[in-house]
Structure 1
Amino acid sequence: MAQHINVSDSSERGRITARVSADRQRVLQLAADLSGSTLNQFIVQAAFEKAEKVFEQEEAFQTIQLNAAESERFLALLDAPPKPTDKLKRAMANFRKQHLEHNDSST
């Protein structure tokens, strides 16, 4: 499922400012000139493209695709989860102990 970024052509505008070295500004200006854009347009477009890539990567990381057999097994396990093993019980006890110690020390 693709995540779509809703961007409207609203007349409401925000402002982003950045301080960069003179060398970086020259490089960005040259790239903007070569692409036929203003420096501001170039930077905004580049930042927006980067933001879209971040969203795509994040979505790919969070998406799990299962085949039919895997889906059936997953749903069966949700309907009838296995009883916790001794190893799982110990792990949960350790987690709770560490979590409670962390919460106690932060208050």
Structure 2
Amino acid sequence: MAATPRLSWNLRVSPDDQALIDRAVRASGLTRTDFVLQAARTAARELLVQQSWQSVSSEHFDQLLRLLDAPPGPSDRLQRTMTAPRPWQR
């Protein structure tokens, strides 16, 4: 299996930002690269999730909330299960 190619990034940061990031890196136990990648992945996922919710109309969002607030009634199968004799009662 071929190795996935790795790309290199160069970032310019202020000394204050560098000190802050390095303190967090030491606290996390990760390497600086892993820490920055983890933070970037988290921020990217959060942004994409927020954008996906922004595309939902308020009407559809309200409909979703109504569905979540109104749990379904018991199904026939659930009612049969709940009224069946328990194995320890036979």
Superposed structure 1 runs of 4+ greater than 4 Å apart: none
Matched, 1:37 2:30: yes
Structure 1 vs Structure 2: percent identity of aligned residues?
28
Q: Per chain length, whose mean CA-contact separation is higher, i.e. which structure has more relative contact order (CA < 8 Å, sep 6+)?
A: 1
What's the TM-score once normalised by structure 2's chain length? 0.58
Q: Which residue of 2 aligns with 1:27?
A: 20
- RMSD, aligned α-carbons: 1.6
Structure 2 residues not aligned, in runs of 5+ = 64-90
Structure 1 residues not aligned, in runs of 5+ = 1-9, 68-107
Match of 2:4, SS?
coil
Distance in 1 (alpha carbons) for counterparts of 2:45 and 2:33: 18
How many angstroms does 1:23 deviate by?
1.7
What's the TM-score once normalised by structure 1's chain length? 0.49
Matches of residues 24-103 of structure 1 in structure 2 within 5 Å? 24-64=17-57, 65=60, 67=63
Aligned pair count reads 58
